Amino acid sequence: MHKGFVIAIALALMAFACLPPAEAQKGPIKVGFMSSLTGPLSPNGKDMLNSFELFLEEQGGKLGGREVKLITEDDAGNPATGLTKLRGMAEGQEIQILVGPLSAAVGYAIRDYIDSKKLPAIFPIVSGEDITQRKRTPYIVRTGWSSAQPSHPFGKWVYDNLKYRRIAIIGYDFAFGWEVASGFHRTFEESGGRVVQKLWPPLFTADFGPYIAQLKRDVDAVYAVFSGADALRFAKQYEEAGLKARLPLIGGGTFTDEHVLRTMGDEALGVITALHYSAALNNPANRKFVQAYETKFKQMPSYYSEGTYVAGLQLRRALEALGGDAENGERLVTALRKVELTDTPRGPIRFDEYGNPIENIYVRKVERVGGKLQNTVIYTFQNVSQFWTYKPEEYLKNPVYSRDYPPCKYC
């Protein structure tokens, strides 16, 4: 009996030893996902969730050799709701990492809580400048962009290549619109151009007619910052006003991102924008991603889709480096910041010391190819930092971009 007992114990120990170390001792990795799944931003929030679920499906539901339990919450684009939902995930369900949100307002609302709880977080979409600048925390890393990151190189490119000298700006009257437009404003004027007008319609403007009527006619082009239904309405009403043939439209990347390009028509043709992604990018990783996304969801992926997919790639690489250890938040966030990815759909990406990606920025022109509208890449800026060519310490001494900064000297 004693010999049989010893043999049984030995066999049990051998069986236990054969299990992967992480799975033998720990349960699934709890990943919290939060986005705007209801309300006006819900189409973009669903793009985010679609791509993250697609990514996990491709991984067989495992990261770093461990099962993943995905816990999903809807913040409805409301900062107070987002904070409440995050508290529930962190304290009630004990998530080990957060992926999301979509809205910058929600991102800023949960920033202090993330910092106090030392909870690793990947922000795939939130582009508010100060998230990785003046109000940064070591626990937030983002796979998306800072609002002015594509605008900085684009301002100089427009001056040098399109030869525009006078620009009117029209965009959202809140931080996102101001920041995107201000990055362009700054570098366009530093190159020698002049911004001679700024108009700020509110979010969800139904009739842009009064604003379009105010646009100066003695400019070379109009720079627009909108997204979603607002972008669609503005582009259509701009064309109906007969201005498109006289005053070319250029703008921030969300103006013709695939989330709105899906429903646009000829009014979008020829519009030139800048962003860190286009579904028309011709590289193996993007072709594979676009095909998988189209097959599953019957539509082209947007930058909301791609940014969240890249968040999955980053998380996978970090967990692989840690042997699946998600319990130590400090080690996990350090590993996330060290990740370098060479084969994402958008191209190579690495992270600066502030937690923001250094990545390619693409100048895109809307064209019709094979009967469909696409953002054809016409120029690539490689390895663009959130600080462009400025020294970070000098950049951060200035106020965050706003309605009045930089000032409109020629308005």
- Give the model confidence (pLDDT) of 314-329 as tens digits: 999 999 999 999 999 9
- E-state strands within 36-94: 62-63, 66-74
Closest to 273 (Cα-Cα) out of 193, 363, 168: 363
* Assigned CATH class of 23-146+282-355: alpha beta
Question: Of all residues in the chain, what percent carry a pLDDT higher than 90?
Answer: 93
190 C-beta neighbours (distance < 10 Å), count = 14
- What's residue 14's pLDDT? 53
Categorize the per-residue pLDDT at 26 as very low, low, confident or very high, splitting at 50, 70 and 90. Answer: confident
- Gap between the Cα atoms of 111 and 131, Å rounded: 8
pTM across the whole model: 0.93
- What's residue 24's pLDDT? 47
- What's residue 142's pLDDT? 97
Distances (CA, A) of 226 to 76, 185, 205, 284, 388: 20, 16, 11, 30, 23
Question: Of all residues in the chain, what percent carry a pLDDT higher than 70?
Answer: 94
The superfamily (CATH) of domain 151-275+360-395 is Response regulator (3.40.50.2300)
> Mean pLDDT throughout 305-311?
98
> Mean pLDDT throughout 75-102?
98
Peptide bond into 101 cis (omega under 30): yes
pLDDT higher than 90, residue 176: yes
Categorize the per-residue pLDDT at 16 as very low, low, confident or very high, splitting at 50, 70 and 90. Answer: very low
> Hey, do 23-146+282-355 and 151-275+360-395 end up sharing a CATH topology, with the first three levels equal?
yes
Categorize the per-residue pLDDT at 3 as very low, low, confident or very high, splitting at 50, 70 and 90. Answer: low
Domain ranges of the chain: 23-146+282-355, 151-275+360-395
> Mean pLDDT throughout 100-118?
97
Categorize the per-residue pLDDT at 136 as very low, low, confident or very high, splitting at 50, 70 and 90. Answer: very high
> Mean pLDDT throughout 222-250?
97
pLDDT higher than 90, residue 369: yes
pLDDT higher than 80, residue 25: no
Closest to 320 (Cα-Cα) out of 308, 337, 332: 332
- What's residue 99's pLDDT? 98
- Give the model confidence (pLDDT) of 28-52 as tens digits: 999 999 999 999 999 999 999 999 9
Closest to 34 (Cα-Cα) out of 79, 71, 61: 71
- E-state strands within 300-408: 341-344, 347-351, 357-369, 372-384
On average, the pLDDT of the chain sits at: 95
Size (the chain), residues = 411
pLDDT higher than 90, residue 18: no
Burial 74-104, CB ≥16 within 10 A → b, else e: bbbbbbebbbebbeebbeeeebbbbbbbbbb
> Mean pLDDT throughout 350-359?
98
